[in-house]
Amino acid sequence: MTCSHAPPWQAICSRQALENGQFFEFSLAVAEQNVDTLPLTGFAFLDGDTPRAYVNRCPHMGIELNWVPGRFKDTDNLFLQCSTHGALFKPRDGECIAGPCQGDALTALDIREAGVILEVRLPE
């Protein structure tokens, strides 16, 4: 019999940190990162009242999305945008709707509220 264990949850911030359209960036405590790759980071935000979290990597080239710290949206503040190639992603599901990775999607992270703290499940 095989026993599978779900990856652990990691506390990232309070829900209040995401109020007023703020984004919260965090490092993911993934044991298998190697020195030849960028550290695995993520970001969280509120989509309406729903917290969402994604790995901070564009599916096109694996680079971080944000323009500067905390800046993930396009100038119209409607879509998540890759700062390098301008790809646009729907906040609700991370689907790329324009740009070189159209049809791909950001890697979503499971997110939950544990009291006033938001937690993400570490990727496998």
Tens-place pLDDT, residues 66-78: 978 889 999 999 9
pTM of the predicted protein model: 0.88
Confidence band, pLDDT 50/70/90 cuts, at residue 6: confident
SS3 readout for 79-118: CEECCCCCCEECCCCCEEEECCCCCCECCECCEEEECCEE
What residues make up the domain containing 42? 9-121
Confidence band, pLDDT 50/70/90 cuts, at residue 110: very high
- Residue 31: pLDDT over 70: no
Helix (H, G, I), strand (E, B) or coil at 19: helix
Q: Shortest CA distance to 30 belongs to which of 10, 45, 57, 3?
A: 10
Domain for residue 57, yes or no?
yes
Domain for residue 45, yes or no?
yes
Number of domains in the chain: 1
Domain for residue 1, yes or no?
no
- Residue 1: pLDDT over 60: no
Domain for residue 3, yes or no?
no
Domain for residue 17, yes or no?
yes
CATH code for position 62: 2.102.10.10
Domain for residue 2, yes or no?
no
**pLDDT value of position 62:** 85
